[in-house]
Structure 1
Amino acid sequence: MPTVRDVDQSDAPGGAGIHGYVAAWARRTPDAPAVTAEGEQLTYAELAAAARRLAAGLARAGVSVGDRVVLWSDKRPAAVAVMQAALSLGAPYVPVSAANPPARVWRIAADCAATVVVADAPAAERVARGGGVPGGPPLVTLDELERLGADSDPPPVHLPDLDDPAYILYTSGSTGAPKGVSLSHRNATAFVEWAGDLLAVSSRDRLANHAPFNFDLSVFDLYAAFRAGASVHLVPAELAYAPVQLARFVREAGITIWYSVPSALTLMIRDGGLLDGPPPPALRACVFAGEVMPIRYVHDLRAAWPAVRLLNWYGPTETNVCASYEVTDADAGRDRPLPIGRSASGAVLHLDPPTSNGTGGDSVGDHPEGEIVVDGPTVMLGYWGREPQRGPYRTGDLGRLASDGCLEYLGRHDDMAKVRGNRVEPGEIEAVLAAHPDVAAAAVVVAGAGLAARLHAVVVPAGDRRPGLLEIKRWCAGQLPTYMIVDSVQAATSLPLTPNGKTDRAALLAAIEGGGPLLAPN
């Protein structure tokens, strides 16, 4: 099976660590564009210089090797520079999208014991309107960080061990609190080098960045570009699901490689005119991951863009991409979803229960179905603040080995769901709902898939008063990111239980979809 070689200081441009990529290209092609967003552009030299200034600012704010830096910002070049600055100090960065309310940001900051929260101006204004920093680490704006670093010499660039943490990506947590996936330089480079080689990313490429920085899809967009000396073009959050503007962005920005969740692509095809007229002239690869791509749109893409490579990637945040499948002409007659393919990024894949021969990788063994278990260089260090990950990672996803040796995705064996590619643990939403003074108990289920996925809450009132949808939405908005705010709420006198005493989500979903007697009318 293919493996990913270890990357030491002599292998990685500019030294060990994913921040070496930018430094190397700043020396080789200083004037080449590195990152662009809404008319603002930084060349490799400018990005490297900004990172050094901001590193000096972070150092003056008390950040040193091993400290965590929470980055709460819209997608902008300066935010990318903060990531590079933190890495150069040996400080893992913790990106949090602007969609998160202050309460959740500081919950994350407390969980990872962050030294500082770096915020852009809009985020800082939200905190000021809410009465200031809600305890915990101090907030420093991007402008303040620039001023702190303007008259200071940056400390020497830290050369990390490849197994040191590089960044922490917080996902929805089943226990009611977000949990941080700690990922190392080795985790990142194993994926980025595999993906960059597979797509032959070069300095001539222009990669789109559709995903928010806290979503693992962005790791490819940023670091595959920086590894090759290419440019990455940030899609503003407000355009993330604006189909006409997104379709126009692909053409006008001259994007050569697009990577997003299927929901965004589906919307662009269905409502944005993406496939109207000739293919985007520069586009040569379109990659999708994070949820199942409807097969009808796969056929539409293949027919309209015969010369564009189409790839389906699979992997949870804890492993990044560990399986890959490329669409071919042989898929023209397929009526089932695409397989997730064969092992990627040096991963070894197993279906549990394991096979007698213990084989993995490109062959996941002879067992036809089971839980997908991943081992290899991209498996996370662990969840921050918990025991380190030891051995293979159990994904919770169910898979089947097809006769051609490709792995097919069958679904989940727990309650975790995807909403427009975002990982949602109902338990985190339920914990927020249950804290409402008028709610005694709550359950959340997801109905529909893809663009039609909706979060439905069922609440048991604590008294005679029944909170309405707008009130529940406002309550959620104060503590959860926008993609975790419920779409509907209904009341019940009690929550149905399974024989083992757990909430019977299947019964709730059936009642929601069928208007059963379990629920009070809206």
Structure 2
Amino acid sequence: MRTSPEPAGLHHLLADAARATPDAPAVHLGDATWSYAELDRMAERYAAALAAVGVTAGDPVLIWAEKSADVIALTQAALRLGAVYSPLAPANPPARVARIAATLRPAHVVTDQAGARAAAAAGWPTAAPPLITFDALRERAAARPAPPWHPAGPDDPAYVLYTSGSTGDPKGVCLSHRNALAFLRWAVAETGLRAGDRLANHAPFNFDLSVFDLYGAFRAGASVDLIPDDLAHAPSALVDFLFERRITVWYSVPSALLLMMRLGGLLDAGVPPALRVCVFAGEPFPTGGALRLRAAWPGVRLFNWYGPTETNVCAGYELTGADDGRSEPLPIGKPAAGDLIRLDGTTADGTGEIVVDGPTVMLGYWGQDRLPPGGYRTGDLGRYDADGNLVYLGRKDAMVKVRGHRVEPSEIEAVLSTHPGIADVAVAVTGTGVEARLHAVVVPAGPQPPGLLALKAHCAASLPTYMVVDSVSAAESLPRTANGKTDRSRLLATLTPAQQKEKP
């Protein structure tokens, strides 16, 4: 853990580590390793490249590419110029990338060769910002020296993470240097992160879990091992990765761990030889599964972290022996990183909406006004238990967690409604936790509703894979509330037991 003064900006973490331990490993990907000095030099070259194409302080830089050291270096380059980066995983199809680019308004969309091919095949909109590949970006820099660093203020925006939006369009959560550094300072201390650690980066870079993987490693002078996108949902490969790469700190959604437990033989393989910390967040971890993991790994510290993208992590809980007989849901714990949490509109049993205020709370949504005083209303319901720990009780509105990702059904509905065979549509979530599935109820525009495969293909053209519907049924009309909105509770009640348990 670093003992030097707090950095002036998020991008100083890499540079500080490069000065302190230039030859230490920073990033691993497959058989390749980049030292801190090498990654720092890459960041400087990309800073020159971005400056060569006109990027200056305050400009957004959209990065749509598979995980790589180049992507990481490019994010650091953007920050050094005072620019704001926004990463998108390749799971986002070209149509969604173009929609996001229309709101972010970057001068270019930086992509890799795979992204360029996908965009060409889909027909990249002429009105969208032009694509530029990493290779072309480096060529534009030529021998140009890196420009001076732009001095970052703590409340300057650093990065934008796009999430599912309630209007049917993605919305960009804008985080500042202060937001990220407050979280990292707490998270590094909480986990005891140190220079010898090797973190596994399971989450895509557009998912807020990756902030800890990358910047936690930089802050401690540790290394991060990138899990390629094609391995992220391969349970046996993930188990092998955990053991063979001698990971010391694992952070993922519970779904990934449960998949590894159920189909990857995780609990049959013994305790991973180097693992000392396992953190999960993004969705509730079923108590039974968490306790099975704790029993199998008695010497590994297990943490349950909570927070929407708008706050990163704002509460945390460490499992102990006191949880071994637990049958109720795991708590999400107590406020983290200097944040304050209050419950608004509490009922007689103490249940209320979780409202977060403090240093990790976002600046606001990109292109909109900054968040007003009073804290961020999460839309999540919570209640304090007898020990003073906060317990998550579900969503107040229609937004849900599916496969570890926050999903707004209206965004999926907006895409499905463009299918010529659909007159009206509503998307409901069946099941809970890791069993949650997306079910579409469609009102056909003709005599026959479109089939599931056709709707999957239609979704896949505009949505990331985790937002593709799993099942479909037809209805003559959708149930409505008195004010004309889709009545989702009644919608769920119309589904048969078989539909509610249907697996993709």
Q: TM-score, normalised by structure 1?
A: 0.92
Match of 1:424 in 2: 407
Instruction: Pick from 115, 118, 126 the counterpart of residue 123 of structure 1.
Output: 115
Q: What is the aligned residue count?
A: 497
Q: Report the AA paired with residue 454 of structure 1.
A: R
Structural mapping, 1:45-194, within 5 Å: 45-194=37-186
Superposed CA deviations along residues 401-445 of structure 1, whole A, max 9, x for unmatched, are 111111111111111011111010000011111122221111001
RMSD: 1.8
Match of 2:215 in 1: 223
Cα offset, 1:136, TM superposition: 2.1
Cα offset, 1:40, TM superposition: 2.1
Q: Report the AA paired with residue 313 of structure 1.
A: W
Cα offset, 1:73, TM superposition: 0.7
Cα separation, 2, equivalents of 1:36 and 1:75: 11
Match of 2:439 in 1: 456
Superposed CA deviations along residues 316-373 of structure 1, whole A, max 9, x for unmatched, are 0000111110000011110011100101011101011379xxxxxxxxxx98220000
Match of 2:450 in 1: 467
Match of 1:38 in 2: 30
Cα offset, 1:15, TM superposition: 4.7
Match of 1:386 in 2: 368
* 1:481 and 2:464 correspond: yes
Match of 1:4 in 2: none
* 1:242 and 2:246 correspond: no
Identity across aligned pairs (percent)? 60
Q: Would you say the 8 A contact 1:22–1:44 is kept in 2?
A: yes
Q: Report the AA paired with residue 263 of structure 1.
A: S
Cα separation, 1, equivalents of 2:31 and 2:223: 14
Cα offset, 1:110, TM superposition: 1.1
Cα separation, 2, equivalents of 1:301 and 1:457: 34
Instruction: Pick from 336, 340, 344 the counterpart of residue 352 of structure 1.
Output: 344
* 1:200 and 2:192 correspond: yes
Q: Report the AA paired with residue 105 of structure 1.
A: V
Cα separation, 1, equivalents of 2:215 and 2:496: 43
Cα separation, 2, equivalents of 1:21 and 1:263: 30
Q: Residue 318 of structure 1: SS of its match in structure 2?
A: helix
* 1:269 and 2:261 correspond: yes
Unaligned regions of 5+ residues in structure 2, if any? Answer: 500-504
Q: Would you say the 8 A contact 2:182–2:338 is kept in 1?
A: yes
* 1:254 and 2:236 correspond: no
* 1:506 and 2:480 correspond: no
* 1:414 and 2:406 correspond: no
Superposed CA deviations along residues 217-256 of structure 1, whole A, max 9, x for unmatched, are 0000000100011000111111111111111111111111
Cα separation, 2, equivalents of 1:233 and 1:155: 30
Cα distance, 1:223–1:513 mapped onto 2, change above 3 Å: farther
Cα distance, 1:302–1:80 mapped onto 2, change above 3 Å: same
Q: Report the AA paired with residue 156 of structure 2.
A: D
Q: Would you say the 8 A contact 1:106–1:134 is kept in 2?
A: no
Cα distance, 1:288–1:409 mapped onto 2, change above 3 Å: same
Q: Report the AA paired with residue 398 of structure 2.
A: D
Cα distance, 1:132–1:424 mapped onto 2, change above 3 Å: closer
Cα separation, 2, equivalents of 1:131 and 1:354: 50
Instruction: Pick from 404, 414, 419 the counterpart of residue 387 of structure 2.
Output: 404
Q: Residue 285 of structure 2: SS of its match in structure 1?
A: coil
Match of 1:316 in 2: 308
* 1:28 and 2:20 correspond: yes
Cα separation, 2, equivalents of 1:339 and 1:185: 29
Cα separation, 2, equivalents of 1:112 and 1:15: 27
Instruction: Pick from 352, 356, 365 the counterpart of residue 370 of structure 1.
Output: 352
Cα separation, 2, equivalents of 1:275 and 1:354: 40
Q: Residue 405 of structure 1: SS of its match in structure 2?
A: coil
Superposed CA deviations along residues 146-197 of structure 1, whole A, max 9, x for unmatched, are 2222321111112210100000000001111000000000000000110001
Structure 1 runs (4+) greater than 6 angstroms displaced: 10-14
Q: Would you say the 8 A contact 1:15–1:159 is kept in 2?
A: no
